[in-house]
Structure 1
Amino acid sequence: MILLEPSALVAFISACFFLAIVPGPTVTLIVANALARGPIAGLLTVLGAQIAIFLMVIVVALGLQAVIGFMSWAFFWVKLVGAAYLLWIGFKMITNRSGLSFDDKTSVKGVGKSIVQGFVVTMSNPKALLFLGAFLPQFIEPSAAAAPQVIGLGLITMLVFTVFDGIYAVAAGNTRKFLTQQRLSTVNKISGSLLIVGGTWLALQRKV
């Protein structure tokens, strides 16, 4: 249930828009997977990321402070696991010597792998949960039940992020068609390097 006035709803969607266009570790992973295995792999990574965000929205709706107070000790280790996972993916992409195939069938391989990668990388960043906990309540009507409003606003946020992440995935996936095998391999290594940078950034973030 969303109780926002039209002007407030426009402001909320606008805020989501500006947040969505700023690339982060998840977007880097989406682009890397799309370049390596095609747009379908990128879109499946988007799906995994949105599953993680939906779970975060549910956490916010159920009571962010209570959950964080109970699980704050675990967030630090979850963050490190996610950072290590990003570093591993980046390392594998850089050291891959088998080359990349332009075969359309390549894009439908590893469906579960792409979804899991998107989920793990997004879920491993506790600051995303803290952000949702700080952002969504700003648009809630205090006189009404909070949980349905949080879920409604969370779904709008997911929709906006899905659209822009999907654009990244499709654009990157289609770009690979215009690259030679050698250039595609170079892009793959660049993407792997960016993932390593993203994993390092995530690991160096302070404990929440």
Structure 2
Amino acid sequence: MLELQTIVMFVTASTLLALAPGPDILFVLTQSMSKGSRSGIVIALGLCSGLIFHTTAVALGVAVIFQTSALAFSLLKFVGAAYLLYLAFMAFKDASKSKLESSKSRLSLISLYKRGILMNITNPKVSIFFLAFLPQFTNPEVGNVTGQIFTLGALFMLCAFVVFTLISLLAGRVGAWFSKTKNGEKILNRVSGTIFAALAVKLAFTSK
């Protein structure tokens, strides 16, 4: 059982980390502005669900593979980069559509949720980050370390989801206002596409 002081310290650190600029928060921000707050919240839920994969990887020692194997790390990051390029292509494609066509091609909430999961689990740096971060707050003297890792992972997911939800609500309002302006929706999609492409390049050239 984790001590209260440890939980408070971990929750504080996790909240600050969730607020730090990064691929996930940019993903939530752009998708909320272009698709609305509800879509952003569903994507945030998908991103946080993806953290289950990384938490399990740390608990079972699988994350060490991404840290020590250049091949495994490269394969996963290139899959992630390719997926981001696909999202960039889809965003630019939406930007070329009329408002009527865009409304007809809206993704379902399930598709958005899956998009969030894929975005998260195809970033090997998250597993490596968790491998370095989570064990710092464990203590073998107070219980099973694997159980503590899963508890910490769940707390991190909760903190991230709260932060991402608040960002989704704010960004959704801004996006709703902006989309009412002339060509506002097209501009939002182009911005999203540019950010996805930039994140893809960054991920492709990132190192451990």
TM-score range, shorter chain: 0.7 to 0.9
The 3-state SS of whatever aligns with 2:139 is coil
Q: CA deviation at 1:66?
A: 5.6
Q: CA deviation at 1:123?
A: 0.8
Q: Using a 3 Å threshold, how does the CA distance of structure 1 residues 86 and 47 change in structure 2: closer, same or farther?
A: same
Say yes or no: does 1:111 pair with 2:112: no
Say yes or no: does 1:145 pair with 2:144: yes
TM-score (norm 2): 0.86
Q: Which structure 2 residues correspond to residues 16-35 of structure 1 after superposition, within 5 A?
A: 16-35=14-33
Q: Which structure 2 residues correspond to residues 150-189 of structure 1 after superposition, within 5 A?
A: 150-179=149-178, 180-189=181-190
The RMSD of aligned alpha carbons is 2.4
Distance (whole Å) between structure 1 residues aligned to residue 76 and residue 63 of structure 2: 18
Q: Is residue 90–residue 193 contact of structure 1 (8 Å, CA) maintained in 2?
A: yes
- Deviation per CA, 1:42-71: give whole Å up to 9, x if none: 111112111210121112112246654797
Q: CA deviation at 1:135?
A: 0.6
Match of 1:200 in 2: 201
Aligned residues: 203
TM-score (norm 1): 0.86
- In the alignment, residue 201 of structure 1 is paired with which amino acid? K
Percent identical across equivalent pairs? 27
Distance (whole Å) between structure 2 residues aligned to residue 7 and residue 100 of structure 1: 52
Unaligned runs of 5+ in 1: none
Q: Is residue 67–residue 128 contact of structure 2 (8 Å, CA) maintained in 1?
A: no
Q: Using a 3 Å threshold, how does the CA distance of structure 1 residues 78 and 141 change in structure 2: closer, same or farther?
A: same
Unaligned runs of 5+ in 2: none
- In the alignment, residue 49 of structure 1 is paired with which amino acid? L
- In the alignment, residue 18 of structure 1 is paired with which amino acid? L
- In the alignment, residue 131 of structure 1 is paired with which amino acid? F
Out of 56, 60, 71, the residue aligned to residue 73 of structure 1 is 71
- In the alignment, residue 34 of structure 2 is paired with which amino acid? A
